[in-house]
């Protein structure tokens, strides 16, 4: 047994369970024994093996990232920030995301490894691994201690996530089919239900392995891919398997205009209405991203029932603003969802995996979408990034600093220039400093970031491998693109590149 005492921290963001909210505590002690918090408050009188001086420090609960695809999204940096389909509702999904990395994950691990020459299926292991390490590094730097890794199954998944020192929810994705566009303005689907079933069976086996694993830093979630790529019987079987095992479940739904129209075309129902009709909405269910509900201004559906459907069912929303707002797509709006009784957790979804930045986008876009400064405040987005996410994952022992909870802790240097003048440290962190003053991060009582350095990831190696992996992926773009464009044609750089400038003579 080893006890660590963060002594007399200037600021502690503690959790008031009775009020279900975070509060500032001044000059307080945070003490943990092995992986468990044993004291949060003033006047700790016990012993400790390690004492950490809390002077000029802000102590926060570790952040809970409930929606991310770390093995693929980092490969898209420099490609999809502004390349979205203007004829497909400003989404990047159907025409661009599929060009890099794996676009078909209806298959099992063995089937995808056997299909190394098929660019639709094969996932480059080196690129995938580099992407994961880069994402983990960014998340740890920004205070994420719990990550939902929503990815196709991969060999060595458990060892890889444990190696980061993070707490990770493995969410192995599977689906009945996949989408493609033959022309950049129409989305079609190809289904192989038997392959989707095999991938589902493999996901269930992995989730059972995770549940039996001795490490308490991993847990699992049922994670079919998307509402429009999964047949209803697969979704219902996944729900039953999740409920039998007491697991949360997630699904991409109401994430694009194309998908909304497709679900109406197939069923005459909005995506949320259809989920309700097949019995998916439930307290263990997390909807990523629930943007295009019936009352979204880009949809103009005649009824406005979706928000109540989500709230009354106790389902949660994984809100990932940054990736969407780059395409002009905004949740309408955070404050309204919360007032309707919907629990919201935050995710990074795509790059960057900077969680403090994600909280800033959530706060700002919540105000923009509501046209009201008071609609979404720092307190609201900080709650979503911690307790809200934990609730969605069915956990009451993370995302908060309270005795009995896991020792997942973020230490912020209040002397950092971006925190000056120091009056309201949480607002300064989210609106000004972002991840820069974060010095130390503990997961389960273990230091994984120290003095601003991530101890568990060699980031320069990850960066080199990520660059090489992206270059390999870009060579395959013409095979996948409907127009057979090269990578440079599909993803033009932000500026034209020239060999020389026109001649000018300053003396003329």
CB of 288 to Zn ion, least distance (A): 5
Per the CB < 8 A criterion, the answer to whether 308 and 337 are in contact is no
What six digits make up the tokens of 468?
A: 């090489």
How many CB atoms lie under 10 A from the CB of residue 74? 29
Using the minimum distance from each CB to Zn ion, give the nearer residue, 349 or 380: 349
Residue placing its CB nearer to Zn ion in the complex, 119 or 288:
288
- Read off the tokens for 2: 């080893």
Nearer to Zn ion, 9 or 291 (CB): 291
Residue nearest to Zn ion (CB): 349
With CB under 5 A as the rule, give the number of residues binding Zn ion. 1
Closest by CA position to 437, among listed 56, 61, 127, 67: 56
- Surface-to-core class of residue 261, CB atoms within 10 Å of its CB (0-12 exposed, 13-18 middle, 19+ buried): middle
Query: Nearest approach, Cβ of 136 to Zn ion (angstroms)?
Result: 17
Q: Pattern of binders to Zn ion over 2-41, x per CB under 5 A?
A: ----------------------------------------
- For residue 144, the minimal CB distance to Zn ion (Å) is 16
Q: CB neighbours of 495 closer than 8 A, spacing ≥ 6?
A: none
Q: Are 41 and 28 in contact (CB under 8 A)?
A: yes
Considering beta carbons, is residue 349 or 465 the nearer one to Zn ion? 349
* 180-201 b/e (C-beta count within 10 Å ≥ 16 → b): bbeeeeebeeeebeebbbbbbe
Residue written as tokens 């127009």? 483
Beta carbon of residue 278, minimum distance to Zn ion (angstroms, whole number) = 21
Q: How far is the CB of 262 from Zn ion (least distance, A)?
A: 17
- Pick from 321, 380, 356: nearest CA to 441: 356
Asked, as a colleague might, if the bond just before 302 is cis with ω within 30 of 0, I would say no
Q: Which is nearer to Zn ion, 226 or 343 (CB)?
A: 226
Structure tokens at 420: 């000056």
Question: Nearest approach, Cβ of 371 to Zn ion (angstroms)?
Answer: 27
Q: Cβ 65 to Zn ion, closest distance in Å?
A: 12
Nearest approach in angstroms of CB 150 to Zn ion is 6
Smallest distance from Zn ion to CB 229, Å: 12
Q: Let me know if 442 is exposed, middle or buried by CB neighbors in 10 A (0-12, 13-18, 19+).
A: buried
Name the residue nearer to Zn ion (CB basis): 120 or 348. Answer: 348
Q: Which is nearer to Zn ion, 4 or 85 (CB)?
A: 85
Alpha-helical runs (H) found in 290-333: 306-313, 321-325
**324 vs 326: CA distance, rounded Å:** 5
Sign of the Cα pseudo-torsion (474, 479, 480, 481, in order): positive
Closest distance between Zn ion and the C-beta of residue 446, in Å? Answer: 29
Find the binding residues for Zn ion in span 339-398 (CB under 5 A): 349
DSSP class of residue 47 equals -
- Residue nearer to Zn ion on the CB measure, 32 or 361: 361
57 or 67: CB nearest Zn ion: 67
Q: How far is CA 60 from CA 23, 134, 206, 338, 358, in A?
A: 11, 23, 33, 23, 16
Considering the complex, state which of residue 73 and residue 435 has its C-beta at the smaller distance from Zn ion.
73
Q: Between residues 259 and 349, which has the closer beta carbon with respect to Zn ion?
A: 349
Query: In angstroms, what is the minimal distance from the CB of 449 to Zn ion?
Result: 25
Could you tell me the smallest distance in angstroms from the CB atom of residue 199 to Zn ion?
17
The DSSP annotation for 186-229 comes to --EEEE-HHHHHHHHHHHHHHHHHHHH-S-TTEEE-BEE-BTTT
In the bound complex, what is the minimum distance in angstroms from residue 272's beta carbon to Zn ion?
Answer: 17
C-alpha R_g of the chain: 23
Task: In whole angstroms, give the CA distance from residue 160 to residue 133.
Answer: 9
Give the span between the Cα atoms of 393 and 221, in whole angstroms: 8
Tell me the per-residue interface mask from 182 to 221 with Zn ion, x by CB under 5 A, - otherwise. ----------------------------------------
Residue with smaller CB distance to Zn ion, 40 or 139: 139
Q: Which is nearer to Zn ion, 65 or 284 (CB)?
A: 65
Residue length of the chain? 508
Report CA dihedral (104, 107, 111, 115) to the nearest 10 degrees: -10
Q: Which residues contribute to the site for Zn ion (CB under 5 A)?
A: 349
């Amino acid at each position: 047994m080893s006890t660590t005492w963060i002594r007399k921290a200037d600021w502690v963001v503690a959790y008031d369970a009775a009020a279900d909210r975070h509060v500032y505590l001044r000059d307080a002690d945070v003490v943990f024994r092995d992986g468990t918090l044993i004291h949060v408050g003033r006047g700790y009188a016990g012993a400790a093996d390690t004492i950490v001086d809390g002077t000029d420090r802000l102590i926060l609960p570790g952040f809970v990232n409930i929606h991310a695809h770390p093995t693929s999204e980092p490969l898209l940096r420099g490609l999809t920030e502004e390349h979205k389909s203007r004829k497909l509702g400003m989404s990047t999904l159907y025409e661009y995301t599929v060009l890099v990395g794996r676009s078909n994950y209806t298959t099992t691990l063995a089937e995808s490894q056997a299909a190394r020459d098929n660019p639709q299926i094969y996932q480059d292991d080196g690129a995938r691994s580099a992407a994961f390490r880069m994402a983990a590094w960014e998340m740890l730097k920004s205070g994420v201690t719990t990550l939902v890794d929503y990815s196709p199954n991969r060999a060595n998944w458990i060892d890889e996530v444990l190696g980061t020192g993070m707490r990770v929810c493995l969410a192995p994705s599977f689906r009945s089919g996949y989408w493609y566009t033959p022309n950049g303005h129409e989305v079609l689907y190809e289904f192989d239900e038997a392959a989707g079933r095999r991938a589902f069976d493999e996901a269930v086996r992995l989730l059972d392995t995770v549940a039996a694993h001795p490490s308490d830093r991993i847990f699992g979630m049922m994670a079919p891919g998307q509402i429009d790529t999964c047949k209803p019987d697969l979704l219902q079987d996944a729900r039953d398997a999740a409920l039998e095992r007491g697991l949360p479940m997630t699904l991409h739904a109401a994430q694009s205009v194309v998908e909304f129209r497709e679900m109406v075309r197939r069923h005459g129902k909005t995506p949320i209405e259809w989920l309700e009709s097949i019995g998916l909405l439930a307290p263990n269910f997390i909807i990523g991203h629930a943007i295009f509900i019936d009352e979204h201004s880009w949809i103009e559906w005649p009824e406005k029932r979706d928000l109540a459907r989500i709230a009354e069912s106790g389902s949660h929303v994984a809100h990932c603003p940054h990736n969407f707002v780059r395409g002009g797509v905004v949740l309408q709006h955070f404050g309204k969802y919360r007032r309707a009784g919907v629990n919201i957790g935050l995710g990074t979804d795509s790059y960057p995996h900077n969680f403090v930045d994600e909280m800033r986008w959530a706060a700002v876009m919540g105000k923009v979408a509501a046209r009201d400064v008071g609609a979404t405040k720092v307190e609201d987005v900080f709650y979503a990034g911690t307790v809200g996410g934990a609730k969605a994952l069915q956990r009451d022992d993370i995302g908060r600093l309270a005795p009995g909870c896991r020792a997942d802790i973020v230490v912020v240097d209040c002397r950092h220039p971006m925190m000056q003048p120091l009056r309201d440290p949480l607002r300064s962190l989210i609106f000004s400093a972002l991840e820069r003053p974060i010095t130390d991060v503990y997961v389960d009582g273990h230091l994984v970031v120290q003095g601003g350095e991530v101890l568990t990831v060699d980031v320069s190696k990850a960066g080199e491998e990520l660059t090489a992996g992206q270059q390999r992926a870009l060579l395959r773009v013409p095979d996948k693109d409907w127009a057979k464009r090269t990578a440079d044609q599909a993803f033009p750089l932000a500026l034209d590149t020239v060999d020389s400038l026109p001649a000018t003579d300053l003396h003329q």
